[in-house]
Amino acid sequence: MTEIAKALTIAGTDPSGGAGIHADLKTFQEIGVYGMSVITSVVSQNTLGVKSFVDLELDFVESQFDAVFEDIHPNAVKSGMLSTPEVMNLTAQKLKEARVANYVLDPVMIASSGHELISEEARVAVAKELLPLATVVTPNLPEAEMLTKRTIKTVSDMKEAGRVLVEEYGAKAALIKGGHYEGEADDYLYDGGTFEKFSAERFDTKHTHGSGCTYAAVITAGLANGKSLYDAVSDGKAYITAAISNPLNIGKGQGPTNHWGHRWSAIQST
Ligand SMILES: Nc1ncnc2c1ncn2[C@@H]1O[C@H](COP(=O)(O)OP(=O)(O)O)[C@@H](O)[C@H]1O
Ligand SMILES: Cc1ncc(COP(=O)(O)OP(=O)(O)O)c(N)n1
């Protein structure tokens, strides 16, 4: 019997279903990978923004890690919202103990105000503990600026941020996402050798809530399925482009991505 690939997401929740754990598990399911989760924070949010969040007690986060790892070994792991340095350090310790081979680090910054925020202590925990374990780190531009402490204004700055994350901080690869850039929606992958560009048309839409989570979840599922990093990112870019270009128009604000986007025309004609 063929064994199904298994992927674990470590992240926060979104009761409106568009981001965090919810986006990740929907993505794993859509790709045909068995999804598991460790919840770090319960977030009250919707398409209009973040209202508040509660970080789960560290012991309870640890207990969830142990519940998964003593029973099932994931082929790949993704982390999203890790809101304290303590949970970042715990995640690093658990990934090392479980000898996780494929780790996708989405360095999400989130605060109860809804504004992106991360303390210097948390930045150091990401840099020292998590980046050296990452198969790939997937920052958007503000996250790449925060992690590298550099301003990013040009494509050459994006590439330099990727180089720094790999050569100075020890990630195996870095995917700098251009969603917050101007012009085409171009992302740059650096693996310590070459830069690869993943390009897409920029759609005039506000419905991109959870796009970073979804993109990183496709990459995680691809790695769990044994794909190369290049192929996993390529699949991720195709999935997220289709997901953004076929909006579901759910909610009053920045709506979620469409997980059926890549087979949307077939669904709509049935
Ligand atoms: N309006 C858009 N049209 C097409 N692709 C987009 C658009 N906005 C974001 N993307 C793509 O979605 C992915 C997520 O990017 P980004 O918005 O930078 O990350 P995050 O969601 O973490 O802030 C990237 O591949 C980016 O290029
Ligand atoms: C619980 C939780 N995790 C992550 C996010 C941010 O989602 P992301 O896909 O990185 O960013 P946007 O595309 O929504 O800007 C979140 N909102 N909640």
For ligand 2, say whether the CB of 14 is within 6 Å of any of its atoms: yes
Q: Which CATH number fits domain 6-268: 3.10.50.30, 3.40.50.150, 3.30.70.360, 3.40.1190.20?
A: 3.40.1190.20
57-to-32, 54, 61, 63, 215 alpha-carbon distances in Å: 32, 9, 6, 10, 28
For ligand 2, say whether the CB of 207 is within 6 Å of any of its atoms: no
**Joined tokens for residue 116:** 């992106």
For ligand 1, say whether the CB of 255 is within 6 Å of any of its atoms: no
ipTM of the complex: 0.97
For ligand 2, say whether the CB of 37 is within 6 Å of any of its atoms: no
From the CA of 182, the nearest ligand is 1
The residue to mutate among 14, 211, 237, having the most atoms of ligand 1 within 8 angstroms of its beta carbon, is: 211
d(CA 127, CA 187): 21
> What does the pLDDT profile of the chain (270 residues) look like in tens digits?
679 999 999 999 999 999 999 999 999 999 999 999 999 999 999 999 999 989 999 999 999 999 999 999 999 999 999 989 999 999 999 999 999 999 999 999 865 445 555 788 889 999 999 999 999 999 999 999 999 999 999 999 999 999 999 999 999 999 999 998 888 999 999 999 999 999 999 999 999 999 999 999 999 999 999 999 999 999 999 999 999 999 999 999 999 999 999 888 777 776
For ligand 1, say whether the CB of 206 is within 6 Å of any of its atoms: no
